[in-house]
Amino acid sequence: MRFLRQSLSGLFLLALTLGLLAYAGQMVREAVQARLSEEPRERPARERIFAVNVVTAAPQTVTPILTAFGEVQSRRELEVRAATAGQIVELAEGFEEGGHVSAGQLLVQIDPGDAQLVLDRVQSDLRDARAEQTEAEAALVLARDELAAAEEQVELREKAFRRQVDLQQRGVGTAAAVETAELAASSARQAVLTRRQAVAQAEARVAQAATALERVGIALAEAERRLEDTRITARFTGTLSDVNATLGRLVSNNEQLARLVDPASLEVSFRVSTAQYARLLDDAGDLRRAPVAVTLDVFGTDLVTTGTLVRDSAAVGEGQTGRLLFARLEAPKGLKPGDFVTVEIEEPPLERVVRLPSSALDADNEVLVLGEEDRLEELQVTLLRRQGDDVLVRGPGLRGRDVVAERTPLLGAGIKVRPLRPGDAAAAPEEPEMLVLSDERRARLRAFVEANTRMPKEARDRILAQLEQAKVPAQMVQRIEERMGG
């Protein structure tokens, strides 16, 4: 009985299962037939409208800024070299790397012993030459006096001779007396010739003494110059660099001991393209005295100074292109020779130009403007300058048009858009990202900034003050850690 009851229960469950499966299959079959028998429904197509940022093209007069990169260098620089060989016996108090010296200050004293001995010997020779000149002049005076006396003797002998001749003609004198007077006159004339020869010799001696004195004077000047060469002084007020001299060291002739740099007379040299150079010329073809702004980035704190464009290089240079320009800095506070800086030069103003975001212009110099029913139209423009993230353009029909600020591949002529103008929603000012530093990280940053001696004191104090705050600008921390190599 039990077996029969279980068998009937199993048959009943099997029949029930098959019936349910058949019912489900029937329902699926009817649904498929109903779906196939339905007519297709067409949904109405909707045009996609894009929201775009637009700016109004307003022509204006803009002064373009030409940006370049250059290096700061000193306009006045002097190599401190030893003019004579010897031992260094004295150094200035500030004769060290970065030492500040004044004009005329003694920098290096080389042992002056040998030069002083030479000078003393030449001074002794000078005294001898002066004594010889005095003696020669005195001898010349005596020789001239003796000549005058000999000439007086000639006159007396001539008078005596004429008197004897006159006595002989009157029959009072004798021929022997005449001959004696004539011989005496001849001897007197011979004495005059001798005295004249002595005067000539005395004059030659004076000339030789003057020549000798002049030679000794030249030797004295040379000895004084050699003695002065043992003293190296500062030609102008400046800062010392590349110092390699120590007390007691032996130096050779023309050996470089340091470089003297004038920190108050700096200029920046930078290279521009030929096209950019042409825009900086005036009507006469000369370089304009355009104002420049020089910026040095120091750990997020910029050092800015102004200057004036003064000259360009005489030649392009082998393997170079463009033009090398020089700008004189007016107040180079915090800048040092060798700094790599950013230079901004004011170009001549451009009239009737439109400033647009650079993303509004495509590669074909076309912009998208709003047309009727807010549909886009393409407009050809002329690109005049690129100014950072902006462009300066000019084109017919651009005045007053709404230009799409950011072009995307989805935008093109004929597409309907929804314009968003700058005044539609006030944008919240973006605040700089701030970081909370750990004590270890803050101490590491402080140590690196304090150890940086090239950074100006004002910038270092400002950065250290920011590091003491509870929150520090993330950009400043990133730049310091990049220079730390961590």
CA angle 236, 241, 246 (to 5 degrees): 100
Answer yes or no: is 25 within a domain.
no
pLDDT score at 426: 46
Among 65, 55, 66, 64, which residue's Cα sits nearest to residue 351? 64
Residue after which a domain boundary falls, among 328, 346, 364: 346
Residues 213 and 289 in one domain: no
Predicted confidence (pLDDT) per residue in 123-137, tens digit = 998 999 889 888 888
Residues 91 and 239 in one domain: yes
432 pLDDT tier (thresholds 50, 70, 90): low
Answer yes or no: is 65 within a domain.
no
Mean pLDDT score, 258-285: 89
CATH no. for residue 310?
Answer: 2.40.30
Residues 120 and 216 in one domain: yes
Structure tokens at 239: 């800062």
pTM of the complete model: 0.58
Predicted confidence (pLDDT) per residue in 242-252, tens digit = 888 888 889 89
Answer yes or no: is 331 within a domain.
yes
In this model, does residue 193 exceed pLDDT 50?
yes
300 pLDDT tier (thresholds 50, 70, 90): low
Answer yes or no: is 52 within a domain.
no
Residues 280 and 358 in one domain: no
Mean pLDDT score, 428-450: 77
DSSP 3-state assignment of 309?
strand
Answer yes or no: is 251 within a domain.
yes
pLDDT score at 70: 93
Cα Rg of the chain, angstroms: 53
CATH no. for residue 414?
Answer: 2.40.420
d(C-alpha 440, C-alpha 255), whole Å: 48
User: Phi first, then psi: what are they for 196, rounded to 5°?
Assistant: -65, -40
269 pLDDT tier (thresholds 50, 70, 90): very high
Residues 301 and 377 in one domain: no
428 pLDDT tier (thresholds 50, 70, 90): very low
CATH no. for residue 243?
Answer: 2.40.50.100
Tell which wins on pLDDT, 318 or 208: 208
CATH no. for residue 170?
Answer: 1.10.287.620
In sequence order, what are the residues at sequence separation of 6 or more whose Cβ sits closer than 8 angstroms to the Cβ of residue 122? 216, 219, 220, 223
Answer yes or no: is 362 within a domain.
yes
Q: Do the bridges between strand 417-420 and strand 50-56 make them parallel or antiparallel, or are there none, so unpaired?
A: parallel
Residues 293 and 338 in one domain: yes
Tell which wins on pLDDT, 222 or 39: 222
pLDDT score at 326: 94
pLDDT score at 427: 43
Residue after which a domain boundary falls, among 305, 325, 346: 346
**DSSP calls for 260-283:** EE-TTSEEEEEEE-HHHHHHTB-T
Residues 408 and 363 in one domain: yes
d(C-alpha 443, C-alpha 448), whole Å: 9
Residues 387 and 307 in one domain: no
Q: What is the domain range of residue 457?
A: 434-484
Among 56, 65, 53, 58, which residue's Cα sits nearest to residue 389? 65
Q: How many domains does the structure of the chain reveal?
A: 5
pLDDT score at 431: 62
Predicted confidence (pLDDT) per residue in 370-419, tens digit = 988 888 999 999 999 888 889 999 988 888 889 999 988 888 888 888 88
In this model, does residue 43 exceed pLDDT 60?
no
Residue 368's H or E segment, with its range, is strand 366-370
Question: Which residues partner with 357 through β-bridges?
Answer: 390
Q: Give me the chain's average pLDDT, please.
A: 85
Mean pLDDT score, 19-37: 81
325 pLDDT tier (thresholds 50, 70, 90): very high
Residues 124 and 197 in one domain: yes
Answer yes or no: is 51 within a domain.
no
In sequence order, what are the residues at sequence separation of 6 or more whose Cβ sits closer than 8 angstroms to the Cβ of residue 369? 57, 376, 377, 378, 379, 398, 401, 402, 403, 404
User: Phi first, then psi: what are they for 484, rounded to 5°?
Assistant: -75, -20
Maximum average pLDDT range among 257-261, 426-430, 445-449:
257-261
In this model, does residue 63 exceed pLDDT 70?
yes
Residue after which a domain boundary falls, among 346, 367, 395: 346
Residues 341 and 370 in one domain: no
Predicted confidence (pLDDT) per residue in 75-119, tens digit = 888 888 988 888 998 888 888 888 888 888 899 999 988 888 989
Answer yes or no: is 19 within a domain.
no
Strands of the sheet containing 256-261, edge to edge, are 77-81, 256-261, 238-241, 100-101
Among 88, 89, 93, which residue's Cα sits nearest to residue 105? 93
DSSP 3-state assignment of 287?
strand
Tell which wins on pLDDT, 156 or 383: 383
72 pLDDT tier (thresholds 50, 70, 90): very high
Kindly state the percentage of the chain with pLDDT values over 70.
94
In this model, does residue 485 exceed pLDDT 60?
yes
Residues 92 and 235 in one domain: yes
Residues 218 and 121 in one domain: yes
User: Phi first, then psi: what are they for 365, rounded to 5°?
Assistant: 60, 45
Contacts 24+ apart (CB under 8 A), 97-102: 97/240, 97/241, 97/242, 97/243, 98/239, 98/240, 98/241, 99/239, 99/240, 99/243, 100/237, 100/238, 100/239, 100/240, 101/234, 101/237, 101/238, 101/239, 101/240, 101/260, 102/234, 102/237
429 pLDDT tier (thresholds 50, 70, 90): very low
Predicted confidence (pLDDT) per residue in 329-351, tens digit = 988 888 888 889 999 998 888 99
pLDDT score at 39: 58
